[in-house]
Structure formats: structure tokens, C-alpha cells
Structure 1
Amino acid sequence: MNHNPLVWHNSRITKQDRQLLNGHRSYVLWFTGLSGSGKSTLSTALEHELYKLQCRSYVLDGDNLRYGLNQDLGFQPKDRSENIRRIGEVAKLMIDGGMIVIVAAISPYRQDRDGVRSSMLPDEFIEIHVKCSIEECERRDPKGMYKKARAGEITHFTGVSAPYEFPLNPHLTIETDKLTAAESVNAVMEYLHLHGLIIAEEKDGERLEQG
């Protein structure tokens, strides 16, 4: 006998209604890459560009979320997987709210990223590999983490003492060790324009179509 007391309650306002109100489709741009590759810099710059176009967007930064939602998690593989699962669940809620979600998280394990992808509609998860050589990431080392990891002061550090599994078929690859920050943002914006992701597909009160 099933004693589960939970019941899903549907809203009278649909995701498509919210998209129509906002004037664009909703989806997640999932930036994955090594620490120091430029995910946060790219995400905040992209958010600014979308804001100028009056798009409703929000950045879910992996570090920021560890101050609150994920403050109870460490950096062991199990904790990293739960970290990504939670970020994915928040992103899903925001997509349902009609927003463009920008996730900036190392998300080192392919299985975890694929798990988030499979929980959404096929066109709602856009994986963007922020590709940068580990040598360049270490040269930048904006948080001083690589230096500490090499000295053994930090364990389970991605790229040094923990693995990073590169995306096999990302929607877009941004090589931030070859492009400037402005060029990187432009590359993402070109992708969004090309695929009609920041243009309302229907007007005059008609709903936006998914797919």
C-alpha cells in the first residue's frame, strides 16, 4: 500500500504562458570547465548582454550556491554529484518560471551533467564547454587554489587530484585561452541568435512552442 502523502499541484499558469510574458523561451546554458577557465566571468558578462536585450536571466554560480543551498556539501565525488543534482533542480524550477538560466559550475562528471540533461526537455539543456588548458588555468589561478592543491593543502581538486570528464558532444565549445572575454560572450550570443533562443517565436497572444 502506498502511503506517500505527496501530491503534485499544477499551476493555472503554464511554462509557455511565462515564456510568452517574457518574450523568449526558457532553458539552461550549462557552463562546464576547469577551475579558472572563465565560467563565472563569461556567465556574468553574458547575463549583462541578455539584460540589455530585456531577457529574463539569472546566473547560478557553483561557488555562490555553496554559501547557502549547498553549504553542507564537501568535495568528495558523492558530494559533487549531489551539488550538481541540486543545481539542476533549481535550474528546472527557473526554466518552468520562463527564465534563461546560466549555470557556472565545474560539474566534473559526465554522468551528473547527463542526469540533469535527462531531467529536462531535449531543447532546454544547452551544454557549453568552457575549454581552457590546465596550464593556463594554473597560470591564472584567480583563487590560489591550484597552488594549494599542488602543495597538498587541498585534496580532491579537479584537474589535479580529482578527474574532469570533458563533454563528448557539447552544443558549443568556448576556448577561453584563445579568445578574449568579449569574443567568448559574442560566440555565445551568436549561438543564441542562430538558434532563435533569444527571439520570441510567436506574437499576438499566441503561445511559444517548445521544440
Structure 2
Amino acid sequence: MREVIEKPVPYYEQAYRVIKQMIFEGKLKPGERIAEAKLAKELGVSKSPLREAIRVLEKEGLVTIDSRVMVYKPTIKDVEEIYFCRMALESFATGLTTRSASAEELGKIEDVLQKTEVAIQQAIDPDPIIELNERFHELIIQYTRNNRLRKQLYDLKGLIYYFRILNFEGEKRAEDILEQHRQIFHHIKHRNDEQAAKAMVEHLQLDLDHLVEILSERND
């Protein structure tokens, strides 16, 4: 038997994951300046891997670098642009998956919906619900078997997840989103690609409307 030596995770990658989680959890707030020396000391790494981590986060859109390093602060224009991209790409993906997904793959999407319902009923922690929300969309994209389409959406993944967290703010949001996902899946399961794509657009438009409302209230 050939032994495989596991490579340690590079420091920059560890720093990247920690900083990203700090942004998602609000420990690093939108528009906040990132003091590199202070953060490097807190994370127990040198400035070099920290700066490499920040470059990756900049590429994902979660930090901005001008004269200073700042946590990304979402604007209504940003949200609208990203959601218009999502509507175009994910509605097309939904139509493709409706036509091509196997019965087993449809079962996996349905399983995500069932797990989401259980997570909402338990209502202990919003993180699993948000992750299941993401998984629902990921499976639809994955089952298109279109790698270029997947790459287009992957490039937006960091900001999409960031907006997804914001999108769960508000009473009964998890239940509303689950019901919209069920409507999308109903059309997918019945192989109605036009209605499935339309339901996805309607779902994302409702998300967009909700996010615009949240950001408008924060800016007032």
C-alpha cells in the first residue's frame, strides 16, 4: 500500500478562510478598514500570507484595495448587477437541469428541500439553513453539466454568499425562500423547463427586492 503524505494547508489559505468567515459573521464590518499588522498578529501569521489572503478576497470582491484595505460595503447598484447576472444564468441553468437531470439527481435536490424544512423547524442556527439554500442552487447549476456556465457563477460565489446571508434578515424569510424553492422544484420535477426557469427568475427578483429594502433602510 502506498503511503500518502498529507500536505499542510498553506498559511495564506488558512488566513483567507478565517478572514472570509469574519466578514460573513460581521466581525469585520462593511466599510471597515483592515489593519494588516494588527490582523496578522491576531491570526498568528506574518504579513506575507495575510496579504496573499487579502488578494484572493479582493478577487472575490469581499475586500477592496485602494490606498487602504477595506471590507467590501455593498451598494444597491452592486446587488442589482449581480442579481441580474444570476437571473440570466440561473434561469438558463434551471431550464437545462429540468431537461437533463436524472431521477437520482432530482432526488438529491428534493432531499435538500426536506433537510431545509427540518433545519427551519429546529430553528437553532441559521447557518445550516443558509448552506442548504446555497446547496439547492449549486445542485441545479451542477446538473446542467455545463462547466462554462458553472464557472461564470463560481466567479460570483463569494458575493452571492454574502448577499445570501443578508437576504435571510427578516421575519419568516427562511420559510418564504423554502416555499419559492419548492415551486421551482415542482416545475423541474414535472419537466416543465419554461415554468421552472420563470419560477427561478421570480424567486431571484423577490430576493433582490428584499435586499434593496434592507440596504435602503441601512443607508437612511
TM-score by length of 1: 0.27
Pick the structure with more helix per residue: 2
**Larger relative contact order (Cα-Cα within 8 Å, sequence gap ≥ 6):** 1
TM-score by length of 2: 0.27
Greater C-alpha Rg: 2
Pick the structure with more strand per residue: 1
